[in-house]
Amino acid sequence: MNYKMVDKQDIINLVGNETVNIDQVKKEHFAYINKENAYHTAHVLKKIIKSKEENMKYLYLVISSVEPDVAQRIMEEFDDEMRAQIIAEMLSLIQFTKKEIEQFDKILRKLLTEQFGGRYVLAKIVEFLDIDQKTLLNDTVASRYPETASSFRKIMLFFEDLFNVSDKDFARIFSDIPSDVLSIAFCQMPEDKIEKLYGVMPKGIKNMVQQGIEFGKNKYSKTEIKKSQQYIIEYSKNLEVDGFIEPILGDDVAKAKK
């Protein structure tokens, strides 16, 4: 769906009588936002809004400041209700101080740099490693470079990490996984983790998974188990990206100030 962007040269007002022209804002701020990073920009903006509801105004600021085709791509990452809200709010004047614009520009630039910087690239590389390779790499980094171990660990998602999320997110992750995948993934897990799984399952599904786990304890290979666990990891990562669950390894997104 296409949305006509509001064309108001003075949609961003400063405190007092001073105004900032949209073209001036485009020239001085947010010029780094383009079609290539529009998706990531929207994702970062969602996190900023989630951290504090009043940060919605910064979404309006960005939408107003970037080129129309880029703004449209950003808006496409939000649902219909949010898009309607964006359009409605942009029909009114939005007031910002010059300091606010500068501060938020720095915050957004920093977050996008982190997305496209070394950490982002490294996360994409380790994403394709299997669990044994991740474990070996994580242990090696921890022993040789302890000062970076904590930061590195935050991009290494293991199956065990899924048991540290909130009860609500745990249920969201595991309630929709096929029973045969769960049976294989959990067939050699400790009893307390298996019981936690049973706690979020309907009785009928629980019985199927329980039987599958018992059946699979001496049947499935280590490779099959890890493959099923990796399936669940990928599923949970997709839920996280789409905003259905909180960040599994913690949220490093800086909170925008009022």
Q: Which one of 1.10.220, 2.60.40, 1.10.760, 3.40.50 gives the CATH number of domain 12-116?
A: 1.10.220
Q: Of the segments 67-81, 109-123, 155-169, 178-192, which one has the largest average pLDDT value?
A: 178-192
Instruction: Tell me the per-residue pLDDT of 134-181, one tens digit each, with 9 for 90 and over.
Output: 888 888 988 888 887 777 777 778 899 999 999 999 999 998 899 999
Write the CB contacts of 142 (distance below 8 Å, at least 6 apart in sequence): 149, 152, 153
Q: Which residues pair with 13 in a beta bridge?
A: 19, 95
Given a cut of 60, whether residue 51 has pLDDT beyond it is yes
Given a cut of 70, whether residue 251 has pLDDT beyond it is no
Q: What is the mean pLDDT of residues 217-245?
A: 88
Q: Is the pTM of this model over 0.75?
A: no
Given a cut of 50, whether residue 254 has pLDDT beyond it is no
Name the one residue in this structure whose structure tokens are 């809004």.
49
Q: Mean pLDDT lowest for which of 103-107, 118-122, 129-133?
A: 118-122
- pLDDT band at 28; cut points 50, 70, 90: confident
Q: What is the pLDDT of residue 12?
A: 45
Integer Cα distance of 215 and 183 in angstroms:
9
Alpha helices by DSSP H, listed for the chain, are 22-28, 38-51, 56-65, 68-75, 80-90, 98-116, 118-126, 131-144, 146-153, 167-174, 179-185, 191-198, 203-216, 222-241
Domain with CATH 1.10.220.30 in the chain: 157-258
In the CATH scheme, what architecture does the domain 157-258 have?
A: Orthogonal Bundle (1.10)
Integer Cα distance of 34 and 66 in angstroms:
8
